[in-house]
């Protein structure tokens, strides 16, 4: 399967999700995120702003601000490049490139200054359990992650976890433990 074919298959799955299903996925993703040690340890959160066709993880942005974490969201610069802009309120977001809400203005954070207690949440069209990420094709996150040293989680609903995905040499992969899904973890004594 080529990346073009994999993206088409993933987009079909995304389109099949109802708004209610996307809200529920977002709620479960956020609940799982808030239970993670990476969340508790993070003083800075770098997070994508979800598109209307993606699970609504904006409660994570709200909670980061409420907990006093530094929050930054990406702003597209073009040609596969983005910068992280500090955000003090979700009201500062406006529709921009690709329909993504971005801050119009704000302080740009220096990636070299991201400490080990920084956590980035990375979106995808699809992923697999081995940590291969299928993005939208612009290379924005691959370029950023190639020089990022903090903690990271790949955000992928269970319905978008594929058996296998194509991968190029420049694609950044994640460890299986860096995968954040909407499946609630099994607890001791729970039936399988």
- The structural domains of the chain, ordered by start, are 3-180 (3.40.50.10420)
CA distances from 20 to 17, 37, 79, 81 (A): 8, 28, 34, 33
CA distance linking residue 189 with residue 14, whole number of Å: 33
CA distance linking residue 87 with residue 128, whole number of Å: 31
Specify which residues 9 forms β-bridges with: none
Q: Rounded mean pLDDT of 125-132?
A: 93
Percent with pLDDT over 70 in the chain: 96
Using alpha carbons only, what angle is made at residue 10 by residues 170 and 78, rounded to the nearest 5 degrees? 50
Least confident of 53-57, 71-75, 79-83, 152-156: 79-83
Mean pLDDT of the chain: 89
Which pLDDT tens digit goes with each residue over 147-162?
888 899 999 999 999 9
- Model-level pTM? 0.90
Q: What is the DSSP string of 81-124?
A: EEEEEE-S-GGGEEE-GGG-EEESS-PEEPGGG--TTEEEEE--
């Amino acid at each position: 399967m080529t990346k073009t074919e994999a993206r088409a298959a993933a987009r079909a799955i995304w389109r099949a999700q109802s708004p209610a299903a996307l809200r529920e996925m977002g709620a479960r993703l956020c609940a799982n995120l808030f239970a993670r040690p990476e969340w508790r340890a993070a003083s800075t959160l770098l997070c994508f702003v979800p598109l209307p066709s993606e699970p609504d993880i904006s409660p994570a942005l709200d909670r980061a601000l409420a907990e006093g974490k530094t929050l930054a969201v990406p702003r597209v610069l073009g040609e596969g490049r983005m910068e992280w802009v500090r955000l003090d309120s979700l009201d500062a977001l406006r529709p921009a490139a690709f329909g993504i809400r971005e801050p119009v203005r704000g302080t740009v954070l220096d990636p070299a200054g991201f400490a080990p207690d920084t956590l980035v949440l990375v979106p995808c069209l699809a992923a697999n359990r081995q940590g291969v990420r299928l993005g939208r094709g612009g290379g924005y996150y691959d370029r950023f992650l190639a020089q990022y040293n903090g903690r990271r989680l790949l955000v992928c609903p269970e319905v978008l976890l594929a058996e296998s995905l194509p991968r190029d040499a420049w694609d950044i992969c994640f460890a299986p433990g860096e995968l954040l899904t909407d499946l609630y973890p099994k607890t001791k004594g729970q039936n399988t």
